[in-house]
Structure 1
Amino acid sequence: MTLIRPTLAAAALTFSALTLPAQAAEFTLTSSDIAEGQSLSIAQVFNGFGCIGLNKSPQLSWSGAPADTKSFAITVYDPDAPTGSGWWHWTVFNIPASVRSLPAGATAPGKGLPAGSIQGRTDFGSSGFGGACPPEGDKPHRYQFVVWALKTETLPLDAQASGAMLGFYLNAQALATAKLTAVYERQKPNVK
Structure 2
Amino acid sequence: MPYLPIPASSDLLPEGYYVTRWQEPGRAEADFGRFDVKRVVRTIYILFSKSEIPIAPEGKEIMDLADLSTPLPEWFTEEDLSIYASLYEKNGFTYPLQIPYRALHNIKGINVPPDPTIQVPVLLIEGEKDYSNKHPWRYQAMKEGIMQKYVRDMEISFIPEGCHFVQEQFPDQVNQLIISFVKGHSVNS
Q: Which has the higher strand share?
A: 1
Structure with max Cα Rg: 1
TM-score by length of 1: 0.28
Q: Which has the higher helix share?
A: 2
TM-score by length of 2: 0.28
